[in-house]
Structure 1
Amino acid sequence: MSEKYVIGVDGGTESLRAGVFDLQGRPLAFASCPYTTTYPHPGWAEQAPQDWWQALGAAVKGAVQQSGVPVSSIAAISLDTTNCTVVALDEAGQPLRPALLWMDMRSAAQAAQVAATGDIALQVNSGGAGPVSAEWMVPKALWLFQEEPETFQAATYICEYQDYLNFHLTGRMVASISNVSVRWHYNSSRGWPVSLLEKLGLSSLVDKWPRDILPLGAPVGHLTASAAAHLGLPEGLLVAQGGSDAFIGMVGLGVVEPGQMAMLTGSSHLQLGMCAAPLHGKGIFGTYPDAVMPGLHVIEGGQTSTGSIVRWLSSSLIGEQGWPGYEAMNAAAAAIPPGCEGLLCCDHFQGNRTPYTDAASRGALVGLTLKHGKAHVFRAMMEAVAFGTELILENMRQGGYHPDSLTLAGGATKSDLWLQIHADVSNLPLRLTEVSDAPALGCAILAAVAAGLHPDIRSAVRAMVHVSRVVQPNPERHAEYARFYNAYKALYPALKTVRLAMEPQQQQQQQQPQLDGPNSSSSSTAAAAAAGSGGSLLPAIISPSILAADFANLAQEVASVQAAGAEWVHVDMFDGSFAPNFTIGPPVVASLRKASSIFLDCHLAVSDPAKYVPALQAAGANSVTFQIEPFLDAAAAAAAGGSSSPADTLAAAVAAAAGLAADIRARGMKAAVALAVGTGVEAALQLVQQGAVDMVLCMTVECGFGGQSFQGQVMPKVQVLRAAFPGLNIQVDGGINAETARIAAAAGANVLVAGTAVFGCKAGHAAAVQQLQQALIQEGLAAAAAAGAAARTSAAVGC
């Protein structure tokens, strides 16, 4: 039997690269072909799918010709491509418009809509806390649906760069488990994100996605006659399923077992690890089930600025004339002890991807003296990137994932010093492999498996991936780095405070009409926070919940928090429909009104809020907040079995809720609408747009049960509301403490309901109220700037 070969193709951002490999993973030849990216508007990036097809033919022909391998000896071909480069195709697979490249950010508003649904599919986005990147499939498809409906309706397929190529190679439209799991919100246990799409009014998208999803290395089909002629390969050649470039790179690095982690380095760092079981958490992307290996889950972290900050040092800060070259800089930096003689760097030059997910964070050099030179800065940047990697790994360990090694590819492998710093800081061995082009080798491995030349991916990895060397950590040096790492961890919160103080003064000078209650004092204006309002000042209001107060001395408790600076108190009322065993009602409101002039912030968690409104008016309530869910349920029940569209059903619910709000206002009270944890933001957006309500309350816990944890996945709803309505009072209720107050304020809330955090504070009510108000002020002042920066830098959340 003659020797067999396989072809691996890596479709990148700027070019397509093809390689011919033998069955031991040795590359015989590579060839590449570039294509053009156009930028029609700021933040937009498009490519012509026809250019990919032409590049594929040229690169494959070039690689085969250079290899000298007879085409009859080639057994199979497999491709990886950039992920979330979205194409709209007709029935024949021809593009209806240019493709939206992965880095295209036009769908930022749609990404916020996706995040605001709070759907279970968003667990892969930092445990549900978000953000959802504009890069991903659903936001891009939603943009097409909303902004180019004629294209969306005409499309037979809405799919990926890779799906387009596979279709034209074989005539078969299929999706890769890799792409759909990591960027389409598909889950192999739950299937397509049907409920997510329903909440977005995008259910028809499922019919436009490929119907078949193939695991990596599965046969897609065989080259058609026209495809074979285009590539210069035999008709009928097997095409194997590939996937997302970085994730196929895991295969090419031999990262296929639990505990192993791939680290792809370059301008940024991407950490991709294998887990035996699913896990989700703040600052973690994933885990993605079956995305690479069946039965395993991929965990993802990333740093936005790594190699790019070293390039900035050489090109922008030092310049060509003063830069001695990387070899000389590495030698000089190696002579400097860990900690760079007191110099510490924050590597957030383009924000932070994980674990903080803060696009507005910025870099810094701290501790500069006249002794420090460019080699100190060079080493400090290397150490900062290593510290940032360790912070990601520490966050993953806290979530339950403990990597036992790092396998590297990319630019960082060229510096022995940087490799050793990484190993010492994280106390993990670093593995380097012989073939640096990991994605192309990964595709070659998958092609060999599909052709039956290796029995499975693990066997193929053992035969085709070869570790060239291992960089072992120095335990003593790891211990020495500990105090510098702890200092690095202190930089982000400290620098965030400094960043807020540097916000433009004009953001603190614009005024909006006050929307708080008639009994509010002027102190809320003095303690105003921008609260993500585009620079507008809003009152920073703490509304202590009487559910946590001592009911035996309720009047005294309320008087105490009012003296402490609280201008509102929150009064929940229940009828058993949202929470059993609670019967607080208008009589409690009446007793509080007799004892105090404080603003009574009343929340009706009841099935029929209208019947309580007259009693609350008589009792002296200042504001009435009602849940939207009874209106949504009633509208859905009325539409059941009929021909009403989801939009019509939503409109009916909004109209009924607006009628109640009008009645509340006519009785001299403020009107507000509340959203339960799992309820989307669409109805509230319409009510505020119509001017029907004065405030929106976002619940972060289930109504009526104490001791629940703050659910951060609700915050995207707050962000959407704040972005749409800068002058709106937005209240967050549930699980509020000093830490979660900052999270809520950063999202855009300016009113917080706090129970135990105020009434249970050992330091006293005044200390608690002041601490929470300060959180609103400090975080609120930065939220507008952060939102703007997020739009500019969201491309940092890599493909």
Structure 2
Amino acid sequence: MPLLLGIDIGTSGSKGVLLRPDGTLVAQAVTEHRTSTPRPGWVEHDAEAVWWRDFRTLVAQLRAQAPPDESIAAVGVSGIGPCLLPTEADGSPLRPAILYGVDTRAGEQIERQRDRFGTAEVLERCGSPLTSQAVGPKLAWLRDAEPEVYARARRWFMASSHLVYRLTGAYVLDHHSASQCVPLYDLRRGRWIEEWCEEVAPGLEWPRLVWPAEVVGEVTREASAATGLPAGTPVVAGTVDAWAEATAVGVAEPGDLMLMYGTTMFLVNVVTAPRPTPDLWCARGVFPDTYCLAGGMATSGAVTGWLRDLTGTDYETLAAEAGTLPPGAEGLLMLPYFAGERTPLFDPDARGLVLGLTLRHGRGHLYRAALEATAFGVRHHLEAMDAAGGQVTRLVAVGGGARELWPRIVSNVTGRPQEMPRHTIGAAYGDAFLAAVGTGRAAPTAIASWNPIEQRVEPDPTTAAGYAQLYGLYRDLYPATREAAHALAARQRADAGPP
């Protein structure tokens, strides 16, 4: 029986699955990796040591679990994005990849491009504002800060497109990923803005635009020898991980919204038409003629991981201790901006804060405050989406962090139920589904039978008033401390010294 391979490259780890053409899970595997932070505001991956190594490792692990009489018939990939990996003409990396909005090094270039192209003009043509999420300022930073690297650069990639290139030799980028390349892609026309591309990054070759489920090539003999995949296996273009994950859980109709519980919290809301807003990202969807509003917190699971490592314990212990505490963690309130904040603040110099600490508070209190801080961030995003015309009507929870306590807190804070599908494996499941669609083994609507909803988390009305008060304090806390946070961020950069 043919098997569908899906592999997703994440911020701190990667996942892979093998599925049958009806969505049955045959095998899954996970591998962790390190994310490099060489300076404050810099977040990088080594494409060879992380992206390609993870892909090969997962393929080997999955093939070892697969029945010997079943072979891989199609490949789908996804990854963190938008990222910037500059390469030579043959695809050889010239430096580590600069990651998505958590990397905030290009602040000067953002301001320069806002002045040059115009804030309103960029929002209208591209659908999103110029922020740390955008690729254009990162390209400009590369020209300014590493001119010797830029002089050798001929192509550039994201995580998914680099894997596709390594597997097939095809230099492509999917429309969704391209729509996050502000200010380089025209959202409504679905094409590169050639005059802005040439001004921002002269001399680069631009990838051909395709759709995520489009077959763009086959596994080459060289890639087959490196990975063990059969030569000639079709490969689809893939996309950014959050959109593959939304696809995996059937977030496809207007009003649907995915909550991705991961290292960062990500939200994708399907809308009927482009709805540019300065508070969120507006982008192309996975399939033609679809659009979405999206938001992303710079941290969520990253903060809980930091607490786990800091306290030398495990998630199960922390969750058990936090679960015995009342809403509000007995008077603690956290701002989760430990790596700045993306939407809706777009403030790379925002910083984390814990208010209300006393000597009686322990690690369980801090853990619960971190979960509640993420929930307050979700509520902030939902309000921004409603204001932009998103009309969120259904929430679907996915990701490794979607465990019992965390989604329950989010539903209590937002007052909205969440649906849990059978499989919350993540983007890798969506990758395999896109491979099935691209090779004619499934229709785009088949995901409802592949991955049905099996559980609902309902909000507890008795917590509504208390959380409403805390949410008001949460919203007040950032503007009240912004000036001090920015001063500390400047000091952190100065203490780090020159690059």
| Same fold by TM-score greater than 0.5 | yes
Give the one of 470, 473, 476 matched to 2:459. Answer: 473
For structure 2, list consecutive stretches of 5 or more residues without a partner in the other structure. Answer: none
1:621-655 CA deviation, whole Å, 9 max, x = no partner?
xxxxxxxxxxxxxxxxxxxxxxxxxxxxxxxxxxx
Kept after mapping to 2: 8 A contact 1:382/1:421: yes
The residue number in structure 2 matching 1:226 is 222
1:390-443 CA deviation, whole Å, 9 max, x = no partner?
1221122122212122222235422x3332221122122212223232110010
The residue number in structure 2 matching 1:242 is 238
Is 1:279 matched up with 2:265?
no
Amino acid across the alignment from 2:413: V
- Aligned counterparts, 1:70-469, within 5 A: 70=69, 73-102=71-100, 106-117=105-116, 118=118, 122-123=122-123, 130=129, 132-133=131-132, 136-149=134-147, 151-185=149-183, 186-190=185-189, 191-197=191-197, 201-202=199-200, 204=202, 208-210=205-207, 212-284=208-280, 286-289=281-284, 291-313=285-307, 316=310, 319-320=311-312, 325-333=317-325, 336=326, 338-339=327-328, 343-366=332-355, 377-414=366-403, 416-455=404-443, 457-459=444-446, 461-469=447-455
Kept after mapping to 1: 8 A contact 2:258/2:395: yes
The residue number in structure 2 matching 1:652 is none
Give the one of 20, 29, 32 matched to 2:27. Answer: 29
Shift of 1:381: 3.8
Change (3 A) 1:62 1:425: closer
Shift of 1:39: 6.3
Amino acid across the alignment from 1:189: R
1:591-648 CA deviation, whole Å, 9 max, x = no partner?
xxxxxxxxxxxxxxxxxxxxxxxxxxxxxxxxxxxxxxxxxxxxxxxxxxxxxxxxxx
Q: CA RMSD in A?
A: 3.6
Amino acid across the alignment from 2:206: W
Kept after mapping to 1: 8 A contact 2:140/2:201: no
Secondary structure, aligned partner of 1:183: coil
Change (3 A) 1:90 1:184: same
Is 1:57 matched up with 2:44?
no
Kept after mapping to 1: 8 A contact 2:78/2:159: no
1:565-589 CA deviation, whole Å, 9 max, x = no partner?
xxxxxxxxxxxxxxxxxxxxxxxxx
Shift of 1:59: 2.7
Kept after mapping to 1: 8 A contact 2:319/2:405: no
Give the one of 6, 9, 21 matched to 1:8. Answer: 6
Kept after mapping to 2: 8 A contact 1:360/1:790: no
Kept after mapping to 2: 8 A contact 1:23/1:464: no
Is 1:490 matched up with 2:482?
no
CA distance in 1 between counterparts of 2:479 and 2:44 reads: 34
Change (3 A) 1:208 1:119: farther
Change (3 A) 1:378 1:116: same
Shift of 1:477: 3.8
**Structure of greater relative contact order (alpha carbons < 8 Å, 6+ residues apart):** 2
Kept after mapping to 1: 8 A contact 2:126/2:179: no
Kept after mapping to 1: 8 A contact 2:319/2:364: no
1:170-195 CA deviation, whole Å, 9 max, x = no partner?
23221111211123542342422345
Aligned length: 491
1:130-158 CA deviation, whole Å, 9 max, x = no partner?
5521x642223223334444544444422
Secondary structure, aligned partner of 2:402: helix
Q: Which has the larger radius of gyration?
A: 1
Change (3 A) 1:40 1:790: closer
- Aligned counterparts, 1:591-670, within 5 A: none
What TM-score do the two structures reach when normalised by structure 2? 0.84
Change (3 A) 1:244 1:34: same
What TM-score do the two structures reach when normalised by structure 1? 0.55
CA distance in 1 between counterparts of 2:43 and 2:362 reads: 40
- The percent of aligned pairs where both chains have the same amino acid is 30
CA distance in 2 between counterparts of 1:84 and 1:5 reads: 29
The residue number in structure 2 matching 1:754 is none
For structure 1, list consecutive stretches of 5 or more residues without a partner in the other structure. Answer: 504-781, 794-799
Shift of 1:356: 2.5
Shift of 1:203: 5.7
